[in-house]
């Protein structure tokens, strides 16, 4: 189970984090995580899980699972398949890969059966509260309009973080709340934690950075 506070990196389908590049980025995170003691996880494409999980000690997550059981689901992502490949958790319902409500429920149940960490992405306070009724391990609230942008959610809309924490706590005392969208540096991370989050979910801020190591080190300074 992922330790918090934490930094979760979703590498999406960027060229800079596909194939060997995903592995190199995972290794870099492993190095910095070991040096700093900061908990980190990397969510890679399905085809990159096996190698990353085999060669790196930080937690490797899938970016998505489908609400299916083994059988006839050509081209969909079977929870068992990403588990067997070495993933220890998965994003669910990312902004770029939304699921219908009943399928979020099913995905969380399937992941729990397989002892996979569940990190469910949400777009606002209301949907975070709804998801908290399912008791996933973590919820990452990310306003869609800020994703991939230059301003961190912790600056552009700090209220969404603290309000999510407060709203979710009325329902569920144990789910961990992360925030994301536009997060780029240690100050953003520190601010996230001040607002009640237990870490961040980010992507382009690291993956598209010229000096990924510098950005990752800076991010850890916020924890």
Q: Is 172 in the site for a second copy (CB under 8 A)?
A: no
For a second copy, which residue of 2, 64, 161, 202 counts as binding (CB under 8 A)?
64
215/57 Cα distance (integer angstroms):
20
Q: How far apart are CA 223 and CA 218, in angstroms?
A: 10
Active site residue 97: no
Could you give phi then psi for residue 174, rounded to 5 degrees?
-110, -25
Decide: is 173 part of the binding site for a second copy (CB under 8 A): no
* Least spacing, CB of residue 180 vs a second copy, in Å: 11
Report the residue from 123, 152, 163, 220 that binds a second copy according to the rule CB under 8 A: 123
Q: Report how far apart, in Å, the C-alpha atoms of 92 and of each of 49, 108, 190 are.
A: 16, 8, 25
Examine residue 71 and tell whether it contacts a second copy (CB under 8 A). yes
Q: How far apart are CA 57 and CA 52, in angstroms?
A: 9
CB of 93 to a second copy, least distance (A): 7
Site for a second copy in 11-50 (CB under 8 A): 12-15, 18-20, 43, 45-50
Catalytic residue list contains 194: no
Residue 115's region, left for phi above 0, alpha for psi from -120 to 50, else beta, is: left
Q: Which of 80, 86, 27 has its CA nearest to residue 54? A: 86
Contact indicator for 188, 168 with CB cutoff of 8 Å: no
**CB 36, min distance to a second copy, A:** 26
Selected binder of a second copy within 114, 171, 190, 209 (CB under 8 A):
171
Sites of contact with a second copy (CB under 8 A): 10, 12-15, 18-20, 43, 45-51, 62-64, 68, 70-78, 80-82, 84-85, 91, 93-105, 122-124, 126-127, 129-131, 133-134, 147-148, 171, 203-204
């Amino acid at each position: 189970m992922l330790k918090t506070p934490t930094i979760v990196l979703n590498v999406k389908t960027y060229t800079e984090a596909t194939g060997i590049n995903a592995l190199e980025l995972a290794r870099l995170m492993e190095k910095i995580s070991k040096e700093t003691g900061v908990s980190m996880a990397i969510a890679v494409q399905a085809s990159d899980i096996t190698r990353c999980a085999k060669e790196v000690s930080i937690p490797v997550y899938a970016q998505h699972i489908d609400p299916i059981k083994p059988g006839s689901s050509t081209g969909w992502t079977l929870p068992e398949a990403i588990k067997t490949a070495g993933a220890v958790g998965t994003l669910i319902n990312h902004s770029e890969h939304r699921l219908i409500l009943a399928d979020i429920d099913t995905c969380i149940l399937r992941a729990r059966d397989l002892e996979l960490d569940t990190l469910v992405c949400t777009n606002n306070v209301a949907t975070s509260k709804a998801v908290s009724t399912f008791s996933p391990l973590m919820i990452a609230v990310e306003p869609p309009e800020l994703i991939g942008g230059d301003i961190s959610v912790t600056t552009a809309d700090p209220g969404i973080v603290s309000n999510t924490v407060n709203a979710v706590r009325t329902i569920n005392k144990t789910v961990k709340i992360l925030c994301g969208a536009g997060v780029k540096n240690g100050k953003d991370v520190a601010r996230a934690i001040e607002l009640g989050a237990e870490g961040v979910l980010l992507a382009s801020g690291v993956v598209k950075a010229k000096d990924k190591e510098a950005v990752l080190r800076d991010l850890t300074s916020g924890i």
